[in-house]
Amino acid sequence: MTEHYPTLAQCAVVATALKILLFPAYKSTDFEVHRNWLAITHSLPVWEWYYEKTSEWTLDYPPFFAYFEWALSQVAKLVDPLMLRVYNLEYDSWQTVYFQRFTVIATELVLLYALQMFIDANHGTARRAAQAAAISIFLSPGLLIIDHIHFQYNGCMYGILIASLVLAKERSGLLASGLVFAALLCMKHIYAYLAPAYFVYLLRVYCLSPRSILRIQFLNCIKLGTGILAILGAAFGPFALKEQIPQILSRLFPFSRGLCHAYWAPNVWALYSFMDRVLIFAAPRLGLPVKEEALNSVTRGLVGDTSFAVLPEVSARTCFVLTLLFQAIPLTKLFLQPNWHAFVGAVTLCGYASFLFGWHVHEKAILLVIIPFSLIALKDRRYLSAFRPLAVSGHVSLFPLLFTPAEFPIKTVYTVFWLILFLMGFDRLAPASNRQRFFLFDRFTVLYIAISIPLIAYTSLIHQMVFGKSYEFLPLMFTSSYSAIGVVGSWLGFMVVYFTS
C-alpha cells in the first residue's frame, strides 16, 4: 500500500535535528543521576552497585537498566574517561553533555522501530490513523521536555512498551508480548502499574482456552511462566545469590517519601492539597481545627514532609487500596470481553488509576497514560473526546520541569504547535461512533483547552510581573490543579467510553 506522507522516518530526521540543537539546553539533576550511574556500573564490581552511596543519587532502577548503563559506559570511556569516576560529582564537560544527550537520541531508535511496528500492524483506512498517532508519539512534547531537555531515557522504554502492546494484537505474538513486558519491568519498575492489565489479558487469551475459561492451556502456561522466570532470573538472579535482594528492594521502593511530589503531579492528591490550602483560610469561619505545625510543610514534596493542615492525612495503604480498586473495575470488563482494544484501554486505565491515586507520584508519570491512550485515541470520536483534555493537561503539567527563561519559548511554542496540529488532525481522522457522544463533555473539553492559554501566560509571565518573588507557590499550584482537573475529567470520560463501547 502506498505510504502516507510525511512518513515516520522523515519526521524522525527533522525531530533529531531539533534535538541536536537542544544539546546545550537546561539539564536537571537527572543528568548527574545518569552520569553517576555510568560511573558506578563501569568502575565498581556488580555486587557494589546497589550499595554505593558517594553521591546522593544512588542507583535505584532494576538490574536491566543498570546493565544498560554499563553498556553505555563502555562507549563513554572512549569519549571522556573522567565522567566514569565515582568521586567526580557534578562533572559535566562538554564531551559528557554531548555524549549523554546523543545516547538519548540513539536509544530512541527503539521507539521509532516500535511505532513502525504499530503502523505496519494496521491496514486500509486504519493505517493512516495509526501513522498519525505514531508520529504524534514520536514528536511528543512530553518526550522532548523530559528526555531531551530535562534528561531521561523514557523514549527507549516506551518503545519497548509499545512493541509489547503491538505484539499482543495477534495471537501468535502473545507469548512474546508477555516476555517483552517482563523485560521492561526489569528496566524500570514504574511499569508495574500496568502489569495487572497484562496479567488479566494473558491469562484470559493465552493461558485459558478461548472456548471455556474452565479449560487451562497448560503448555502455554508453562512457556509463559518459564520465560518470565528466566527473565527475572537473568535480572535478579546474580544478586539473589549474593543475598542482595532486600537491599535492591529498599532502593526501588523508598516509601519514606511523602504523599505528593511537590504540587507538580496533577492527580487527586493535588486537588486534595489545593482544597487543604483553601480550607486553611476558611477554617476560622467554619470552626475547623488547623494544625499549626503543618502550615509550612503542606505538599512541599520533600522526603517525609507531606502533611495537611485541615484535611485528614493520607497513608500509603490508602493510596494502594484506591489504586487497586480503580484498576480492578476496568480489568473486570477485560476479563469478560478480551480483545486488543479493550486490553490497551485497560492498560491506559491502570495507568490512570496509578497516576491519580498513587503514593508520591511524579509529574513525568503522566506519559504512562498518554502514550498507550494515543494508540487507541483514533478508534472513534468518543475516544478522541476523552483524549483531548488529557493531551492538554498532561503536557501543560510538565511545564514546571523547565523553569529557566531560555527554555520558556521552546516548551510553550512547541507544545502549543503540537496540540493544534495533532488535535486538529485527529479530529479529521477519527471516525464517527455508532454510539451517542457526550454533548456536555465536548463543551467541557473546549472550555478547558481555552483556559490553558491565559493560565500559561499567568504562571509564566504575569505572576512574576505582579507579585515578584511573593506567593511563589501559586503558579505551580494553579498549574497542577488545572492539570489535575483535566486528567480527572479525561479519566471519568474514558471510563464511560470504555464501558459503553
Q: Is residue 469 part of a domain?
A: yes
Q: Is residue 164 part of a domain?
A: no
Q: Is residue 318 part of a domain?
A: yes
Residues 6 or more apart whose Cβ sits within 8 Å of residue 441: 385, 386, 489, 493
d(CA 46, CA 29): 24
Q: What is the pLDDT of residue 442?
A: 66
pLDDT values of the chain reduced to their tens digit, one per residue, 501 residues: 456 678 999 999 999 999 999 999 999 999 999 999 999 999 999 999 999 999 999 999 999 999 999 999 999 999 999 999 999 999 999 999 999 999 999 999 999 999 999 999 998 889 999 999 999 999 999 999 999 999 999 999 999 999 999 999 999 999 999 999 999 999 999 999 999 999 999 999 999 988 888 899 999 999 999 999 999 999 999 999 999 999 999 999 876 666 776 556 889 988 888 888 888 888 788 777 887 766 665 444 333 456 788 888 888 899 999 999 999 999 999 999 999 999 999 999 999 999 999 988 888 999 999 999 999 999 999 999 999 999 999 999 999 888 888 898 899 999 999 999 998 999 999 998 877 766 566 677 778 878 877 887 887 778 777 777 777 777 888 888 889 999 999 999 999 999 998
Q: What is the pLDDT of residue 297?
A: 55
DSSP state of 146: I
Other CB atoms within a 10 A radius of the CB of residue 375 amount to 23
d(CA 302, CA 311): 19
d(CA 273, CA 276): 5
Q: Is residue 485 part of a domain?
A: yes
Q: Is residue 194 part of a domain?
A: no
C-alpha cell at 112: 521509532
DSSP state of 312: P
Q: What is the pLDDT of residue 258?
A: 66
**Cα distances (Å, whole numbers) of residue 191 to 78, 229, 242:** 33, 18, 26
Q: Is residue 28 part of a domain?
A: no
List the domain range (segments joined by +) for residue 345: 268-500
pTM of the model: 0.93
Q: What is the pLDDT of residue 138?
A: 98
C-alpha cell at 406: 531560555
Grid cell 473526546 is found at: 385
- Ranges of H-type helices in 261-380: 268-286, 316-336, 340-357, 367-376
DSSP state of 469: T
Q: What is the pLDDT of residue 256?
A: 65
Q: What is the pLDDT of residue 263?
A: 53
Residues 6 or more apart whose Cβ sits within 8 Å of residue 212: none
The per-residue pLDDT for range 185-229, each reduced to its tens digit, is 999 999 999 999 999 999 999 999 888 888 999 999 999 999 999
Q: Is residue 359 part of a domain?
A: yes
Which of 378, 380, 369 is CA-nearest to residue 484? 369
The per-residue pLDDT for range 428-483, each reduced to its tens digit, is 999 988 777 665 666 777 788 788 778 878 877 787 777 777 777 778 888 888 89
The count of domains in the chain is: 1
Q: Is residue 111 part of a domain?
A: no
Q: By CB neighbour count within 10 A (0-12 exposed, 13-18 middle, 19+ buried), where does 340 fall?
A: middle
